[in-house]
Each structure stands twice: as structure tokens, then as C-alpha cells.
A = this chain, B = another copy of it.
Amino acid sequence: MEKILILLFILCPVCEGFSQKVNTEDSIIIKKIYDTALLDGASYDWLDYLSNQIGGRLSGSLGAERAVKYTEEQLNELGLDKVWLQPVMVPKWKRGAKEYAYIETAPGESTITNVCALGGSVPTPHGGLKAEVIEVQGIEDLANFGKEKIEGKIVFYNRPMQANLIQTFLAYGACVDQRNAGAKEAVKYGAVGVVVRSMSFRIDDLPHTGSMNYGDTPVNLRIPACAISTRGANYLSNLLKLQPKLNFYFNQNCKTYSDVQSYNVIGEIKGSVYPNKYIIVGGHLDSWDLGDGSHDDGAGCVQSMEVLRLLKKINYRPKHTIRVVLFMNEENGLRGGKKYASEAKRKNENHIFALESDAGGFTPRGFSFDIDDKTFTTVKSWLPLFKPYLIYSFEKGGGGSDIGPLKRDGMILAGLRPDSQRYFDYHHAANDTFDAVNKRELELGGAAMTSLIYLFDKYSSAK
């Protein structure tokens, strides 16, 4: 019996940097956080406004500008100790007139298909681009075909997301190089354009955009790149088997402009014991332009705002300064995250913990931590506090894109990990809209984040 007790103690260790053990007071406070989130939450209404009154928030757009103003106003209404805008120059890319594409199996025999320009792509030549198509299963495949078979053609990257990968982000990670680097690699073989299968498990008609880059490809050699819907990709692939010499036509009118001024939106509650030590929570305020970015990442923004609102609402006075940061330009530049980190370094601000929510507003299932093993043992001892809220998983892993640049030795990063099975149904597509977010699921995420921030604030001792 005693041996078992000893082992139970090992499950709740106290290690350097954490001042004491979690206790029943913590259960009570976490219950208060969840009750307030679910009975008197603000995040869903904020998201409604961001999504339905503002809409898509691509960096440099009017939507992004309005979102900065709106969230600054809302943070001001929370009675935080300080709310401000942190200037950051961001890229500006515009989609322009809607894209148009068709598959031509014979002169006069064509089928319209749904495509969208990839973010950062150049436009097609005036009047559009028509060429034969070569289907490949990924960048690695280009060498198999060689310049001879690729030159003058449109490369069609058709490696699908692997449905049998349970962790959907792994399936995404295994395909996304086609989108990111497909154009710059294909151009080396003389391709004239790139069509990339949308990164979604669903078979539907929605093209999914996302960033791409040309690397050091000279400006005059850059070729246009678009995404095709999964149904369109299947259709094109099937037609190619019958008719390998078919033509693909697409016309897109996107353009990159000069960088413009934008902002990270920041609010904070001053720490009562360690005002110069910072805990931050955030998401990214920019989104792609096709939908209204409700899951990616409106959800993360309103959940992060909700963290500070809930802490105030339950009258918790944090020991450390707690900041919400709504980062600008995660999608196509990460300028906001980099700017926040460089300013923090310049001002010598001591950030001890950063939490990001950027995986959709779905039922939260856990957190991932970028953390050393020893501290992780302590953090894992908090997990039982979350079990009544159906959070079962604390894993080691990344925190989030925007908080990544902040990372320094001893600092802990974390990411909210919601259920991800439906995430890529909406990701970067026209259906990433408010109706795809469930109020309870969103609120449970905000409550889980608040609880974790509370625990880090309470138990992190000065370093």
C-alpha cells in the first residue's frame, strides 16, 4: 500500500520553477472559469462580429484593418490595464477578379473546374494560361519525369492527404510542400504553371488556398500557381488517364503590392507580484480571403481575448503580467509574430510562457508543450484538474507559429489541441465561416486555455 502511495506522489512532483502543488482550490477556480465561459461567455459573439460583420482578414486588406480596430475596441471595454497596437509592416497580396479554369479534352470540349490562386502567386499572363498537364505525386516526382516531359507544361501536384493518418496535421504536413514549394521546384524543369490538389480529406468543389513562395526564383521566371478542388483534382486525374494530351486553362489576376502598415493588437493585465514577467496568450487576427476565417484563426483570437476577460470576471489577480496578443500576418509572412518577438527582445521583456490557439474552434482535447522533460513532469501533474472537462492529453510538441519566434531557453510554449478531424474540411477555403463553429466547442477551448494560464501564473515562481 505504501509503495502505491509513494508512486502516487511521484505523479504530483514539484520541480524547479514551480512553487507548490495544485490543490482543491485550483479545482474550484477552474470550475468557476468553465461555468463563466459556458454560462456567460463573450467569445462566440466576438467571433460572430469578426466573421459576419468583418469577414476575411487577409493582411493588408480592409478586413484586417477593421479587425484591428474592432478587437482593440473590445479589449478596451474589458477594463484591462493597457491596450495598444504594435505596428508591423505586412505584405499585401490581392486575389483580384475571381479565377476561372477549365479542362479542355478537345477543341471546344471543355469542363469548368474550381480553382483559386495560391497566396503569393503571380497572375497568369493576360488572357490566361493554357497548356498540357503533367500529373505528379509530389516534388520528388519531378525528377522522375525530367525536363523533357515537364517543359512547357502545367505541373499538376496530386498527392492527396493520407486518410489513414489519424493526426490530420501530419497528413497536411506530408502534402503541403506541394503548395509551398511546388512552383519554385517545377520551374526548374521548365513548367509554365502549377495546379495543386487542395489539402482536404473531403471530396468537394472547394479549392483551398494557402501560402506559397518562389524562394530565389528570379521575378521574370515565376510561374502562376493555383489550387484545384479535390473533386476537380480527381476529375482531372481520371481524364488524364483517358486523354494524356488534354489542356488545362486557368486565369488568375492576383497581384503583390508594396508592404503596408498593420498592427498586432495587444492587451494586458499587470502582474501583482512579477509585473515584468510575461505570460502571453494569442491567435492570429489575419485570415485567408475566401471564407471569413472563423476557425483559422478567428476562433483562436476570441478565445485568447476570452482568457483575459474570464480572469477578470472571476476576480483573479495574476501574479505575472498576462497579455493577449492578436498577431497579424501569420498566413503569409509571420511578420506579426516576428515583430512581437523582436520587440520583446529589444525591451528585454522576460516571457515565461506563451500559449497559442491556431488549430480551429473545435472541442479541445489537450495541449502540446514545447518544454523540457523535467518541467513537463510537473505540468503533466496538472492533467487531473482538466479531466472533468474532457481534456485528457498533454503531449510534447510545438506551440504555434506566431509564438515560435519568442522561444528562448527555459521558456515554455504551448498550443491548444482541439479535435482536428474536421479542421481541413474548412482550412483556407470558402466554407471556413461562422456557422462551422459550435458555440460550446469554442467556449470549452477558451475555458481550457484560461485554466492553463491560471495554473502557469499561479505556480511559476520567479526565475
Contact = CB atoms under 8 A, between A and B. Distances in A.
Interface of A: 3-4, 6-7, 34-35, 38-39, 163-164, 166-168, 201-202, 363, 365, 388-390, 392-393, 419, 421-422, 425, 438-441, 444
Report the 4 A-B pairs with minimum CB-CB distance, sorted nearest first: A392-B392, A38-B164, A38-B163, A35-B164
Contact of A164 (B3, B7, B39, B439): B39
Nearest to A203: B439
Given A39-B163, A166-B389, A425-B438, A419 B202 contact: no
A392 B365 CA distance: 10
Contact of A390 (B4, B163, B166, B422): B166
A120 B449 CA distance: 45
A421 B438 contact: yes
A283 to B, nearest CB: 20
B35 A201 contact: no
B419 A419 contact: yes
A363 B365 CA distance: 11
B34 A166 contact: yes
Nearest to A390: B166
Contacts of A438: 421-422, 425
A363 B419 contact: yes
A281 to B, nearest CB: 21
Nearest to A387: B393
Contacts of A3: 3, 6-7
A419 B438 CA distance: 13
15 contacts: A3-B3, A3-B6, A35-B164, A38-B164, A163-B440, A166-B388, A166-B390, A168-B440, A201-B440, A363-B363, A365-B365, A365-B392, A419-B419, A421-B440, A422-B438
A160 B7 CA distance: 44
A390 B167 CA distance: 8
A392 B389 contact: no
A440 B200 CA distance: 12
Given A35-B164, A363-B363, 17 more contacts: A4-B7, A34-B164, A38-B164, A166-B389, A167-B390, A363-B421, A365-B365, A365-B390, A365-B392, A392-B392, A419-B419, A421-B438, A421-B441, A422-B438, A422-B440, A422-B441, A425-B438
A365 B364 CA distance: 12
Contacts of A425: 438
A39 B163 CA distance: 6
A421 B390 CA distance: 11
Contacts of A38: 163-164
Contacts of A392: 365, 392-393
A301 to B, nearest CB: 21
A387 to B, nearest CB: 9
A455 to B, nearest CB: 18
A6 B4 CA distance: 10
Contacts of A168: 440
